Structure 1
Amino acid sequence: MLRVHFTAEDLFDVTFAAEPLPLVELALALVAWQRTDERAVFGPWRGRVGREMPGRVRPLLDLLRPDGDNPQFVEPYARSLEEGLAAVRDHAPLLTPDGLRHAAARAPGSASWLRALWGRDREAWDQLDSAIRSAYEVLIAPHWPRIRQSYRADVAWRTRLLAAHGIKACLASTHPEAGWSGTAFEVGRPPDYDVRLGGRGLILMPSSFWTGRPLLAAHPDGAHVLLYPALTPLPLTAPDRAADGALDALLGRTRAAVLQSLLQRRTTSELARDLGISLPSVSEHTRTLRAAGLITTERDGKAVLHAATGLGVDLLHSGA
C-alpha cells in the first residue's frame, strides 16, 4: 500500500507541476511499452512502438522496469532533452552500490553493462546517452503536442475538482483504489511505501503514459511529486485542439492556440515564449478572450497570470 501522511500545512501546499517533463514522460513511455495492462488502450500502441524502436534503446530496459520503481537519475526533472541529458550525466558520481544491486536484481539482461555504468565507464555512459536520444525521437518528439494536451486537460479538470470539492476529492480521483484515512492518503496496491511529507508539500504530475497506481518521488527542491495516470492516455488523445479547423475559424489560429495553452495557468511572458509571438500580441489576444468570458486574468506581484474559465475549457472540449 502507498500511504502518504499529510500535515495541516501540507494540505494547503498541494500544487500541479507547470508542465510535463520530457525525460520523465520518456521513462514512463518505456515502462508502458513493457507493461501488459490496459490492452484495449495501449495494445496497438505497444505494437507500433515495438516495430519502430531501434535496437540501441535496449540498455534502457535494464534500468526502466514495468513496475515503475526505477532509478530516478534516468528520469530527471528537466524541461528539455539536452538539459535532461546533462542532468543524467551529472548523477554519475552519485550512484551508490545499493542502487547498483537494486538495478541489477531487476534487469532482464546481464548486469555487466550496469556495473560499467556505475563504474563511470565512458563507453557505457555514451551508450546510455544514445539510448535516451533514440527513444526520445520515437516516443516523445513526434507526440509532444498530444502529451501536453493530455497533461493540460487533466490539470484543468482536477483544478476544477479541487475548487469544487477540495484536496481530498482531488487526490482520491487519481486511482480507483485511492482514499483517505484521517490525514493519510492511501492507495491499496503494492509495493508498500509509507512517507511523511513533513511540511514539504506535494506536487501533482499527471502522465499520459503511466497506467499503474500513483508513484511518489522526491523533487530536487525538497518537496515530493505524486505521479499518476492522466485522464486521457496518449493513445486516446486527438490532435491538438488549437490546430482544429473549426476552432481556428471561430477564434483565429493564434487566439485558439492561446486558449489551448491556458488550460494551465500561464503568464504573459510564458505565452509569448511557448507560442513564439510578441508580448503585445499576447496582450491583445488575452484581452479579447477575457472579454468573451473564456479566460480570467489576475496579477501576482509583477506577473500577470491567465487561465481558461470553465466556459473556455468547455469550448475547447466541445469539438466546436
Structure 2
Amino acid sequence: MLRVHCTVDDLLRVTVADRPAPLVELGLAFEMLQRRDPHPVFRPWRQRVARTLPRPARPVLQLVSPLGAGPLFLDPPSPDLEEGMDQIFSTPAPQVGTELRRMCAIDRPLTPWVRQLADHDREAWQVLGTAVRAAHSSVIAEAWPRILAGFHAETAWRSRILAQQGLRAALTGLAPSTRWRGTTLEAEFPRDLDLTLSGRGIILRPSLFWADHLLVAPQPDGRLLLIYPALTPLPLRDTSPSGDPLTALVGSTRAQALRLLVQQHTTTDLARELAVSPAAASMQTKILREAGLIVSQRDGKAVWHWCTPLGLDLLAHGGTAARRDGAY
C-alpha cells in the first residue's frame, strides 16, 4: 500500500507536467517490457520490442524492475535527451551507489557490471551511455510524435477533470483503488511505502508506457513526482485524422468504442464491431468506465455498456462524431 501524507500546502501546489520526458518514458518502457502479465494492449508491443531491441541497449534491463522501479538517476524528468544524459553522468557517486543498492534490494541482480557502475568505473559508464542511447533510438525516438500527442491530450483531459470536478476527483481517478483518508492519498502498491510531504507540492506526470499502479519519485526540490498511466497507452495511439480531436485525445480504438456506446452494447458486440479480441474490448471498457465516460451492468453472462452524460458531453464537444444506425 502506498500512503502519501500531504499538507494543505501540498494540495494547493498540485501541478501537471507540461512536457513529456524522454528518459522517464524510456525507463517506464523498459519496466513494462519485462512484465509477464497477459496485458491485451501491451503484450503485442512487448513481443515486437523484444524482437527488435538491439544488443547494445540490453544492459538497461539490468537496472530497471518490472515492478515499476529504477534508479532515480537513470530517468531525470528533463524534456531534452542531451540535457537528461548530462544529468545522468553528473550524478554524485554516493547517490549512484545508494540507488543501485536500493534496486538490487528490490529484485535486480548484483552483476559485475552493476558493481562497476557503483564503483564509477569509466568503461562501465561508457557502456551505460551507449545502452541508454541505443534504447532511446530503438524504443522512443520513432514514437516521439505519438508520445507528444498522447501526453498533451492526456494532460488536457486531466486538467479538465481538475477544473470541472475538483482535486479529489482528479487524483483519485489516476489509477484504480486510489482514495483519500483525510489528507493522505492511498493507492495499491507492490510494497508498503509511506511518504510524508513537506508542503512543496505534487507534480502529476502521465506515462504512455506504464499501465499499472501509481509510481512516486521524490524530487531534489522537495516536490513529489506522481506518475500515472495515461488514459490511452502508446500501443493504442496511431496516426489519427487531424480533424478529429476526440481521436487525438483518447486514441482511435477508444474513440470508436465511445461512439458505438451511445447505444448499449455487450462486450462481445463491441469486440466484433471494433475487430479486436474480447479481452481487448474489455480493457477498453474498463478504462472508459474508470474515466467516467461509460457505465457497465452485468445481465447474466453478458455485460452491457453505454455512455454516461460525461461521455456524451465529450462526444458532443470532441469533434464531428461518426453517425451509425441513427446515433452519433
Residue deviations 1:177-222, cap 9 Å, x none? 1011111110033311111222111000000011221111122332
Q: Matches of 2:58 and 2:86 in 1, distance apart?
A: 20
Q: Matches of 1:222 and 1:87 in 2, distance apart?
A: 18
Q: Matches of 1:90 and 1:19 in 2, distance apart?
A: 23
The SS at the match of 1:59 is helix
Residue deviations 1:225-284, cap 9 Å, x none? 100100000001122x5xx3556xxxxxxxx9xxx89xxxxxxxxxxxxxxxxxxxxxxx
Pair 1:137 & 2:137 matched: yes
1:165 alignment partner in structure 2: 165
The SS at the match of 2:180 is strand
Aligned 8 A contact 1:34 1:66 in 2: yes
1:305 alignment partner in structure 2: none
Pair 1:87 & 2:87 matched: yes
Match of 2:228, as an amino acid? Y
Relative distance call for 1:101 and 1:9 in structure 2 (3 A) is closer
Relative distance call for 1:61 and 1:21 in structure 2 (3 A) is same
Q: Matches of 1:313 and 1:203 in 2, distance apart?
A: 31
Match of 1:143, as an amino acid? A
Residue deviations 1:77-101, cap 9 Å, x none? 2121111111110015243544333
The SS at the match of 1:216 is strand
Name the count of aligned residue pairs: 258
Q: Matches of 2:189 and 2:107 in 1, distance apart?
A: 22
Q: Matches of 1:109 and 1:188 in 2, distance apart?
A: 25
Residue 154 of structure 1: how far off its partner (Å): 1.4
Aligned 8 A contact 1:206 1:229 in 2: yes
Residue deviations 1:107-163, cap 9 Å, x none? 655521011111111110010000000110111100011111221121111111111
1:276 alignment partner in structure 2: none
Match of 1:122, as an amino acid? R
Match of 1:63, as an amino acid? L
2:104 alignment partner in structure 1: 104
Relative distance call for 1:162 and 1:124 in structure 2 (3 A) is same
2:183 alignment partner in structure 1: 183
1:32 alignment partner in structure 2: 32
Aligned 8 A contact 1:3 1:193 in 2: yes
Residue deviations 1:265-319, cap 9 Å, x none? xxxxxxxxxxxxxxxxxxxxxxxxxxxxxxxxxxxxxxxxxxxxx9999446858
1:234 alignment partner in structure 2: 234
Aligned 8 A contact 1:62 1:106 in 2: no
Pair 1:153 & 2:139 matched: no
Q: Matches of 2:35 and 2:210 in 1, distance apart?
A: 10
Aligned 8 A contact 2:198 2:222 in 1: no
Q: Matches of 1:84 and 1:56 in 2, distance apart?
A: 19
Aligned 8 A contact 1:16 1:155 in 2: yes
Q: Matches of 2:238 and 2:317 in 1, distance apart?
A: 16
Match of 1:226, as an amino acid? L
Relative distance call for 1:319 and 1:148 in structure 2 (3 A) is farther
Aligned 8 A contact 1:104 1:114 in 2: no
Q: Please provide the CA RMSD for this pair.
A: 2.5
Q: Matches of 1:186 and 1:52 in 2, distance apart?
A: 38
Q: Matches of 2:136 and 2:322 in 1, distance apart?
A: 30
Match of 1:67, as an amino acid? L
2:299 alignment partner in structure 1: none
Relative distance call for 1:196 and 1:135 in structure 2 (3 A) is same
Q: Matches of 1:175 and 1:18 in 2, distance apart?
A: 20
Structure 2: state its 5+ residue gaps. Answer: 250-312, 324-328
Structure 1: state its 5+ residue gaps. Answer: 248-255, 262-309
Equivalent residues in 2 for 1:206-217, closer than 5 Å: 206-217=206-217
Percent of pairs identical after alignment? Answer: 42
2:44 alignment partner in structure 1: 44
TM-score (norm 1): 0.74
Aligned 8 A contact 2:5 2:196 in 1: yes
